[in-house]
Structure 1
Amino acid sequence: MGLFFFPLFLKVEIKRTIPRGAGGSKDFKTKKIFVGGIPTTVNEDEFRDFFSQFGEVKEHQIMRDHATSRSRGFGFITFETEQAVDDLLVKGNKLEMAGSQ
């Protein structure tokens, strides 16, 4: 018997990043989002590629444990424009991201 991989769709949570002291979250414009619930099987390239469908990605980072380099399950995406963030958040704060099992 061979080993089979089936796509697994997990919901990741997205939020607009807001500096401390900034106004209400709905009115604040930003190019950066927080992404929580990232599957540990997702690497940096897959992370960037997934969010590239919503706009041009300027920077991306999955946060890692300093000692083990394992994913901490969250990260950040910075888009080229604020409009990409606005358009993405119109869809809600949960997205299905494919991983592998």
Structure 2
Amino acid sequence: MPTFATGSYPTVLLDSKMFVGGLNWDTTDEGLRKYFSEFGKVDACTIMRDPDGRSRGFAFLTFDDPESVNAVMIREHYLDGKAIDPKRAIPREEHLRNTRYFVGGLAPTTNAESMREFFSAFGKVVDATVMIDRESGRSKGFGFVTFEDSNNADQFVGKLGLMLDDKQVTDRS
């Protein structure tokens, strides 16, 4: 049964900072930096890694000029043979307004687009993510939805009978 948990996920973010998801496990910090340098000077670039050094499949990067982020956002991106998903990092203040919600118990067929479509009935969705197992490529059965406005939670958190891809959504908070 899908569940929600409210909470903020604070990270220090800047207007010129980006989250890059969907990385090839073999992508290096230097390769990522080189790719994004075509959009502007990259100040920092860090692929997140497990304690054993294996890539977690996502990174954060910061440009010298916030306009570089706009240049990145207007096209699709492929690196090391894989489509990657760069997104504007969400400022810390927005996280603190409880705009991001954990969604658990997702159907195996649920994807980011179906989550976005479902939750758009409750307000403007700025991000929807289904977490994928790196070994199997299958959904882990949970994800996150982020709204533009923190007032959206009142419309669905705690409500019974909400269905997403034939699974009932409930509040776990």
If the length of structure 2 is used for normalisation, what is the TM-score? 0.42
SS of 2:118's equivalent?
helix
Distance 1:18 1:44 in 2: 20
Whichever residue aligns with residue 7 of structure 2, its letter is T
Aligned residue in 2 for 1:66: 134
SS at match of 2:113: helix
Whether the 8 Å contact between 2:5 and 2:102 is mirrored in structure 1 is yes
Equivalent residue for 2:162, pick from 74, 78, 95: 95
State the percentage of identical aligned residues: 33
Shift of 1:19: 4.7
CA distance in 1, matches of 2:116, 2:9: 23
Per the alignment, residue 83 of structure 1 pairs with 151
Which entry has the higher C-alpha Rg, 1 or 2?
Answer: 2
Q: Which runs of 5+ in 1 are unaligned?
A: 1-10, 21-27
Higher RCO (CA < 8 A, seq sep 6+):
1
Residues 109 and 165 in structure 2, CA contact (< 8 A), matched pair in contact too: no
Does 2:115 correspond to 1:42? no
Alignment: residue pair count: 82
| CA contact 1:32–1:85 (8 Å) conserved in 2 | no
Asked if 1:33 is matched to 2:23, the reply is: no
Normalised by the size of structure 1, how large is the TM-score? 0.68
Q: CA deviation at 1:42?
A: 1.4
Q: Deviation per CA, 1:49-91, whole angstroms, max 9, x where unpaired?
A: 0111111100110001012221000000000100012332252
CA RMSD across the alignment: 2.4
Relative to total residues, which structure has the larger helix share, 1 or 2? Answer: 2
